[in-house]
Amino acid sequence: MNTSDLKLWIIVPCYNEEAVLPITAPLFLAELQKMIAAGKISSASRILFVNDGSKDATWDIIRDLSRSDEHFLGISQSRNRGHQNALLAGMMEAKERCDVTITIDCDGQDDISAMEQMIDEYRGGSDIVYGVRSSRETDTWFKRTTARSFYKLMNKMGVEMIYDHADYRLVSAKVLRHFSEFREVNLFLRGMFPLVGFKSTCVYYKRSERLAGKSHYPLGKMISFAIDGITSLSIKPLTLIVVLGLITCLLGFVGIIWAIAEVILKNAIAGWASTVCIILFLGGVQLLSIGVIGEYIGKIYLETKQRPRYIISEKTWEE
Ligand code: UDP
Ligand code: MG
């Protein structure tokens, strides 16, 4: 049998996942052991569950798992902070203890068997390996279309993002050490890793249905995630406001000429409707623009506070 020194930590965020965790945890372990047996990774590799302030029995399940097998570890955030912060907590915990990390959702939607391929790519010299969905057959038409438009919009806004990549990703500890210098509080990891650089590649996998439990990302949350992504990584909307302002000014100018022409031509001006339309239009543009600027000021406000991005309250191991 081959052996390897490569220490892998698989990082799994969990929020209210009591229904699915008992199903997927053994699958993660089986895959880990398969890779250990194949000599791809060291037997000191671990699976780290990050409990994101779950309100159900998730943390109890994680603690039981960690007692049942030494490969299972868990940390718990002091409260729910969201998927991105849970991933960050896990990656920061792992970065000094392993050589390479893979982040994966705990609901079985991401194909676990793609991990081995990710490790191969890492051995081939890539420091970041993006898991990319090869098809979206299992998604509804609505989810598919909104997701596609989301990527298109992000690219138009100048955010470099891998198409159809979520947060199933291999990242080396070396990259994570550099990544920890990115101090922002508003996290949008899939748009941030391309900024870190280093050699990267993609591995394709088929995304399936959740094995149990239900999604924590309904449409409303997805929209706010998209807005977060754009306003955290791009200042194009501010430029767009300037363009919008210029166009409005131009229209206003044409309007003034038109009004003067009407006066000169002595046409009786009913005037009321056009005035109201212009006022409403201008009001709308102004409110929208102030709103976009407000989004950024809000971000600046949050960033200047420099609050901790995660707080770990418990661990399954003693230090
Ligand atoms: N998750 C989390 N904190 C949250 C919401 C979700 O850690 O506040 C985890 C969740 O347990 C899962 C992953 O993030 O492992 C993805 O969530 P989900 O499957 O609900 O999202 P979807 O796949 O439907 O987009
Ligand atoms: Mg899911």
What residue owns the CA closest to ligand 1's atom 7?
Answer: 83
The CA 304 to ligand 2 mean position distance, Å, reads 32
Q: Which residues have C-beta within 8 Å of that of residue 33, sequence separation ≥ 6? A: 71
Residue 129 sits at the vertex; the CA angle it makes with 139 and 7, to the nearest 5 degrees, is 120
The CA 290 to ligand 2 mean position distance, Å, reads 35
pLDDT under 50 in the chain at which residues?
A: 1
pLDDT at 213: 85
pLDDT at 69: 94
The CA 240 to ligand 1 mean position distance, Å, reads 33
pLDDT at 279: 75
Give the CA-trace dihedral at 263, 267, 273, 275, to 10 degrees.
0
pLDDT at 242: 79
pLDDT at 1: 47
Does the CB atom of residue 88 touch ligand 1 within 6 A? Answer: no
Residue ranges of domains in the chain, CATH in brackets: 3-233+307-315 (3.90.550.10)
Atom of ligand 1 nearest to the CA of 222: 25
Does the CB atom of residue 217 touch ligand 1 within 6 A? Answer: yes
Average confidence score pLDDT of the chain: 87
Q: In the chain, what percentage of residues exceed pLDDT 70?
A: 96
pLDDT at 31: 95
Q: Please state whether the predicted TM-score (pTM) of the whole model is above 0.75.
A: yes
Cα(133)–Cα(162) distance, rounded to whole angstroms? 11
- List the shell of residues around ion ligand 2, using CB closer than 5 Å: 105, 107, 109
Does the CB atom of residue 82 touch ligand 1 within 6 A? Answer: yes
Handedness of CA 95, 98, 104, 106 (dihedral sign): negative
Beta-strand runs (E) in 91-250:
100-103, 128-133, 165-172, 200-205
What would the two tokens of residue 253 be? Answer: 């100018």
pLDDT at 245: 79
